[in-house]
Amino acid sequence: MPSRRRFTVLLPQGKALELGGRTLVMGIVNVTPDSFSDGGVLFDPARAVDAAMQMVEDGADLLDVGGESTRPGAQPLGAADERARVIPVIEALAARVTVPISIDTYKASVAEAALEAGAAMVNDISGLRYEPDLGAVAARRGAPIILMHTRGRSSDMYRQASYVDVVDEVLDELGESVAFAVGKGVSRDQILIDPGLGFAKQPAHSYEVLARLDRFGELGRPLVVGPSRKGFLSRPMGRDLPPGDREWATAAAVSACVAAGAHIVRVHAVREMVQVVRVADEIRKYHRDD
């Protein structure tokens, strides 16, 4: 198992997020009517808040609130509609939880409003390729930003899933996103990276990225990985499992992420995955390079 470097990422209001001592669990809060993972069960703000509170009770270290589905084929959502979905949830959670709240958006105006409402970091699936001004918002607000790898938009990402060496190319493109963010004023110390499992990647690409996650340490930034309930997890079963039936498969992928040195895993079923992460972290403690 590769060693895991430690990082301190600064949050707004003088707080800090310590990364690397153990794997942190980020709970996914999809405030959408068409989430691939749960069919929109948390679209109602009150239900979303209750579910997020339960995630914290179950051991979530962070919450990631999103208002636009980015599943393959999803249609874009206007910024005003996205704000209307996420801001009430973030405001309610910010008053009730102490764990950092992340806003899952690629839109600068949504991120600005979310950070004002109490979010502490930004999770951008586009790696600043959709709305570059999002980098300036994060920089001005002193918020860390997760830069994820993808190509194209949700409607056409699989048409761009062509690689000679997927890991080398994803590393190169994430490196470009990091450099671009720095150019927008974001401190390199405030950047986290995500290889984007399932985004602009065929199942074989996602498995190769998982198998070679240790390579992403080359970028020198904390690693966030989100395998939860993704479609590629069905491939070994030879049939397409519904998202809700992919939890055991998710557990296997999460274990691989921890073994490879991921700093944060992003999951739906927090209670179950906290157990997976804690045991995988315990195994890491006893690993020796004999």
- Catalytic residue positions, numbered: 230, 266
CB 170 within 8 A of CB 195: yes
Percent helix, percent strand, percent coil in the chain, to nearest 5 = 45, 15, 40
Residue with tokens 């150019």: 183
CB 225 within 8 A of CB 232: no
**Per the structure block, which two tokens stand in for 173?**
């493109």
Residue with tokens 């993972």: 37
Say how far apart CA 195 and CA 225 lie, in whole Å.
7
For residue 213, which amino acid is it? Answer: L
To the nearest 10 degrees (0 to 180), the angle between helices 203-211 and 247-259 is 40
- Catalogue the E-assigned strands of the chain: 7-10, 16-19, 24-30, 62-66, 101-104, 121-124, 145-148, 191-194, 224-225, 264-267
Identify the three-state secondary structure at position 25: strand
**Per the structure block, which two tokens stand in for 268?**
């739906």
Neighbours of 216 (CB within 10 A): 26
CB 145 within 8 A of CB 192: yes
